[in-house]
Amino acid sequence: MSDAAGSAHSSVPCEQPHGSPVSHYGLSSPTLDAFDLPPAPASPTMTTPEAESRDRPERPQPARTASAEHDSLKYHLLGPSLTKAGQDTVDQTKVSEVIYNASKGSKFFNNEEVKDKNLTEKINKILAKRRQLEKIDLTSDQRRADDYIAELELSRDMSQVIVHLDCDAFYAAVEELDRPELKDVPFAVGKGVLTTCNYHARKFGCRSGMAGFVAMKLCPQLICVPMNFAKYMAKAEEVREVLAMYDPNFQSASCDEAYLNLTEYCQEHHMTPEEAVSQMRADVYEKAKITVSAGIAANAKLAKICSNKNKPNGQFLLPSDRQTIVEFMRTLPTRKVNGIGRVFERELDAIGVKTCGDIYAHRAYLAKLFGQKAFQFLMQCYLGLGRTIVKPAEDRERKSVGTETTFRELGDRDALRDKLRHVAEELEGDLKRTEYKGRTLCIKIKLHTYEVHTRQTTPPFAVNKADDLYRYSLPMLEKLMKEIPDLKLRLMGLRVTQIISTKKPGIDFFGRAAKTSSTSSKASTSKNEGTWETWPEEEFEEAAQQERNDEMNELEKLSQEQGHQEEERSAPEPQWQCPICSISQPPDDASFNAHIDFCLSKQTIREVVKSTAPSPEKQSIAPKPITKKGKRGRPKNEGSISEQQAREKRRAFFSLGNNN
């Protein structure tokens, strides 16, 4: 189902959510064809994907093609927020051209070009391996895939009401509360890289994760306001107070989105899921004065997808019916699934997997091409399965805690050590807040050429203090300084892994929290421990989030690089400021002397005295009043001002300015 379906009101946010759009999926959904349903597990013969998809309706091809040399790069440059709501009418081809031309020639562009080339080479290897696999009998692989599908179907849980709630253009909405005049104009929050765009700006192709100077090319009238995190966090807390009344154990996915399980609430209050969510959205608006959108489904994966269907200020319900869910996923582009980023999307697209429905036809190849975990994740996507456990983020098992910072090109050794100390202090704050310490310490740097290097070490004890973090990471930085001549950095980060909770009592000897079982996670068994494995979707979601974070960091550096280049291009030629009238003059001795001669003329002095009446302090800069004048108003017994005198006056003026 396309994003346009059920979102007729999505172009204009409503003032009150009571009358906001509410959509169902599948009220009159067609009967599924045979190829949409998993076959019997024991398939006697191998069926090729081509044969299985022969009778399928022809699907639209992606907008990008391989004909142009940089088509894949242009698509990649569209950014991490390509699937954000509010861009249905945007010509993404034109947007990609603007981004391509604006960033071409930059270090960021060169780095993206290298990454795109490397990905193309990787895809060529995948395709070569695919051609080899087509020559052998994969009957056993297909049988295992079918067995896994049957196993997954047995674990399908449709008894829960899972809701994903997402604030509409959150930062922008908060800014509009203080500046109502911004509601009807395109504006964004953030300067170097946009963190949020309102829906007026999105119509021009602007989106979060876009470099500010690129957005200005798409929408010259765009207004950019600086971020105010304290204000956003205060507003987010107001929203959370409402959510806690519906599910005390709701999970914050970020400051502006959350997962809730409303099963118990609906039962206790005798409400349908749609009624409960509509009421919750109204309560959020009444409390925080911002609108939110919601997706309602049987699991978290589906709810996340659905919350983007009826934005802004709407909700979308996917009925908890197997046939409806499979049909819904059949036409869903893979990129719409949380956990499939731009890289994985392109790899899947290369082998012909453009929608989740295409996954089934390629089931015999997926494990050999992408690995077992990717195979499991993709089969769950095809079936529309996901986790049904919703719990606070602090109760979820973490694997690492880290922080990193971007900055303008930095090469001074002492400055880099100071930066490392700053990062260590930031990480100490994060570890204190999350109540963890780590046994392994990793350092990450990104060169001015965008090349990434990482190193890790194992301190003699688990660390969480800035002094210890700095002490054990400094040798790694020093070694990198020696290994890389003329080291210049744009990013530095520290991360601890093998983390140990400093709060929870239920930690084993090695500091690992015991894994909890999920009603939906009984798909396979750990060979070593005999406990149920966690859903692989969480690992893919984390990887996709890291991909987005890396992209945001690189876009920030592009913005910094562009800003530095613009400063160099737009920096005016050094001007010599007249110490008498303070007007800047071209840096030419002859013309500057002529100007000072003019300023010292009798008529000019008279006008200055009349109009400005300089104070005694300012008179120290100008010539002292004289009673006798020679020709052209020059002080008697003095010739025209010399070049040396003019330069001395300039130096005096600039030294005064530097003290301010």
Three-state DSSP class for residue 38: coil
Q: Which are the catalytic amino acids?
A: 257
Helices 342-350, 107-133: crossing angle, 10 deg rounding:
40
Q: Which residues pair with 23 in a beta bridge?
A: 316
Q: Which residues pair with 315 in a beta bridge?
A: 22, 294
Contact 224, 337 (CB under 8 A): no
Helices (H) and strands (E) in the chain, counts: 23, 15
Contact 513, 504 (CB under 8 A): yes
* Measured distance CA(7)–CA(293) in Å, rounded: 12
What is the number of other CB atoms lying within 10 angstroms of the CB of residue 232?
21
Token couple for 354: 């453009």
- 575 CB-near residues (< 8 Å, 6+ apart): 584, 585, 586, 587
- 324 CB-near residues (< 8 Å, 6+ apart): 25, 26, 29, 318
Indicate the pairing of strand 162-167 with strand 400-410: unpaired
Which amino acid appears at position 608 of this protein?
Answer: V
Of 453, 430, 455, 459, the closest CA to residue 442 belongs to: 455
Indicate the pairing of strand 436-447 with strand 187-189: unpaired
Contact 93, 62 (CB under 8 A): no
Contact 480, 455 (CB under 8 A): yes
* Measured distance CA(90)–CA(333) in Å, rounded: 18
DSSP per residue, 605-632: HHHHHHHH---HHHHTTSPPP-S-B-GG
Token couple for 383: 């079936």
Phi, psi of 625 (to 5 degrees): -60, 140
The string over 400-409, giving b where at least 16 C-beta atoms fall within 10 Å of a residue's C-beta and e elsewhere, is ebbbbebeee
Indicate the pairing of strand 196-197 with strand 223-225: unpaired
